[in-house]
Structure 1
């Protein structure tokens, strides 16, 4: 692999992963805007703008865009997160120039017509209603609220029906001009194309618009951890539980030990919680640990779902496992297995051009530089049993927040809420 960094005069950064002899090229454009960068009146606007960019633009109509993607044999997609909006394109290598031009037309030349804005409001409202019928989505969003109160990172990416209804053309254009600047983007390119060609083509098509010379005001303050419990009674079949606490931010030397603890505790079918909750007691179908990481904040959580009649036993089992960890720690055998799982996962991921490209981009977005895979693997290998046991004592002696969604009753609340020290 031959990875290089390119920066154009207009501020656009490009990560180039030269992989010869491949017939396809992967392109990812990462715009550094997500729900955390919105003002209150803009709630949901990062996601809404992403939708609108796939409508008619000044160069071509939506039908022409779809037709060209098919003609290029391409796969075009986009999605919005709390911190970044991603546009992805996979095409045959000899269509590289056409692919870059297509992305340029979509991202840099929107029309934002009133008719399309009004129509897309209906579409996004349906998406919001669909989200409200998803217990997994609800339990995670409420976990952010239970941990970080009203910080911008807590906001739902889709917005609300009320906020989406309030969007007008002036607000949309202002938001777009503020954030969709070439100096606020990072591009990843992977495939059989030279660095010189990459620089030449992007310099030609990803120019900087004069209207984008506006000061970006972005909320960069990290959230403060304020643990509490949030219960949402809904008529679902299962009760969803997400129980956790504050993790370690990127750059903290303890992140590797927490990651390995997470794998050992709930990272697969050999993990402690899977064996205890599913294999021994049959209480759940799935249980997993979560490391929810952002540029300046992180949460560690345990997620599972169970029937209403087994909620108490399930949660008591989690408490027992916590006490067991605090008392006995983990063994060298468990740590070695977690290391093998983690390193194998990294090695398999870098075999995929798209996953490798996302790793490179996310590394740059979070750390401002590329963290080599070998460095990451070396850090993992250096973690000792003592490191992980120190992390156990630190993490599991902290106050935990909890999010519960489903057909809950007063007994469930009494048992689960009793664990929250700062409710």
Structure 2
């Protein structure tokens, strides 16, 4: 159960009451991420997220902010993605007001002091270094810069270190003012609360402003006519690989069929790729597939950690499984099990009120349509065997294959041959 309230300024409130719990989670989500950035300021969405924790007029330092939340055992954090930035605070339900007060103070009254910005440059560079030094975490960005080449979707969320070290304070503040406004925001609350008090608090701490539509995007259109490979050279024993193809945006009629295909191919320990590539051939420790979607596009990809001495064998084996899926489709039993798997995982995930809240808020912000859990499950159940196999034949197009690798290689030509 949830309630959606649309306000006159374009902002939306999502309430998820769970009176059997003893906690509350406040979340505020903005439609801004790395895909909204120009190349010269790539990384500022994430930079701004960091600076929201650096002090306000009321709570002038990071310590003042964190000390107040730590004193009540709160869990709090934020994250930036390609298309949204979110902030959340979870507390004991008796501290309902503290959570919304703190988020309002951070998001509406942060000081953005120059000295804090200068200090935080080094912190973010070290965060970027951490990801770059972890190939299993880094490979997604290598792949997405390949498949979305030439687009802002293909830029890294954290941005280049050179931009983080040099972006001017004025540009960062200007960018924040451009995207942090009520009409570009969803406010959420989940847990044990009384609706009338919650709404009074929201209206007090997030008063309505001038009406303004949500931020728009520059739509991405695939125009790829031949396979692409990007290699990040690194001396490793295990090679990280992502191989993928264009997929579908959030509300596309084929997305659910592709999601089910992804579960069948590499979503579980009984999936085709896990059994064939890991269990039977011993070529990988980690292997999985995913169907990722955005507002205007998406992709289907296989991710694996592979033995560098058997790379050709591994890529050919993965290719063979994808070809088999494309040519022969999947069985009715595989489809039934994939539907049951997703159903079970969603039910378990949404037992947590904060997870259900984030799911609803993301739909509101990025798809302009909310499906509750029951509606989502009915939508998946309605996907037919014929539909899944039509998508299976369509999605694997080797002319539009994209391969990202992190390992001790420099020759793209060798791997391009394996994709043809």
State the match for 1:29 in structure 2: 28
Q: Distance in 2 between matches of 1:301 and 1:321?
A: 13
Match runs of 1:153-232 below 5 Å: 153-207=153-207, 218-226=216-224, 227-232=227-232
- Name the counterpart of 1:69: 69
CA distance in 1 between counterparts of 2:117 and 2:167 reads 9
1:417 aligns to what? 416
User: Is the 2:184–2:215 contact (alpha carbons within 8 Å) kept by the matching residues of 1?
Assistant: no
Change beyond 3 A, Cα 1:377–1:208: closer
> Within 1, Cα distance between the matches of 2:303 and 2:18?
38
Q: CA deviation at 1:383?
A: 2.1
Judge which range, 50-59 or 248-257, deviates more.
248-257
User: Is the contact made by 2:32 and 2:215 (CA closer than 8 Å) also made in structure 1?
Assistant: no
Q: Map 1:50-199; keep pairs closer than 5 Å.
A: 50-61=49-60, 62-199=62-199
Alpha-carbon distance change, 209 to 397 in structure 1, aligned in 2, over 3 angstroms = closer
Equivalent residue for 2:345?
Answer: 345
Residue 31 of structure 2 corresponds to residue 17 of structure 1: no
Residues 409/58 of structure 1: CA separation in 2 closer, same or farther (3 Å cut): closer
Moved over 4 A (4+): 213-218
TM-score by length of 2: 0.94
1:268-307 per-position Cα deviation (integer Å, ceiling 9, x unaligned): 1100000001111111111100212111110110110111
Which residue does 1:44 correspond to in 2?
43
2:328 and 2:36 mapped to 1: Cα distance?
Answer: 43
- Asked if the contact 1:139/1:403 (under 8 Å) is kept, the reply is yes
Aligned match of 1:403: 404
Describe the superposition over 1:135-191 as per-residue Cα deviations: whole angstroms up to 9, x where unpaired: 134322121222121211111111111111222221121111111112211011112
Q: CA deviation at 1:366?
A: 2.4
Q: Distance in 2 between matches of 1:346 and 1:216?
A: 28
Query: TM-score, with normalisation over the residues of structure 1?
Result: 0.93
Structure 2 vs 1, CA of residues 65 and 349 (structure 1 numbering), >3 Å: closer, same or farther?
A: same
Structure 1 alignment gaps of length 5 or more? none
For residues 192 and 259 of structure 2, the distance between their equivalents in structure 1, rounded to whole angstroms, comes to: 34
Alpha carbons 2:11, 2:186 under 8 Å: kept = yes
Alignment CA distance shift 1:331-1:214 (3 Å): closer
Which segment is superposed worse, 50-59 or 63-72? 63-72
2:361 aligns to what?
361
- Residue 372 of structure 1: how far off its partner (Å): 2.0
> How far apart are the structure 1 equivalents of 2:212 and 2:255?
37
Question: Match of 1:286, SS?
Answer: strand
Deviations 1:186-218 (A, max 9, x none): 0111122232222211111113679xx999875
Counterpart of 1:72 in 2: which secondary structure? coil
Question: What is the rounded CA distance, in whole Å, between the counterparts of 1:340 and 1:214 in structure 2?
Answer: 42
Change in Cα spacing, 1:282 to 1:242, as seen in structure 2 (3 Å) is same
Q: Residue by residue, what CA displacement relative to the aligned partner does 1:99-158 show, whole Å, maximum 9, x if unpaired? A: 111111111101111211110011111112222212134322121222121211111111
CA distance in 2, matches of 1:216, 1:11: 8
Match of 1:291 in 2: 291
How far off is 1:409 after superposition?
Answer: 6.0
- Map 1:306-321 → 2, pairs under 5 A: 306-321=306-321
Distance 1:52 1:402 in 2: 35
| 1:240 aligned onto 2:240 | yes
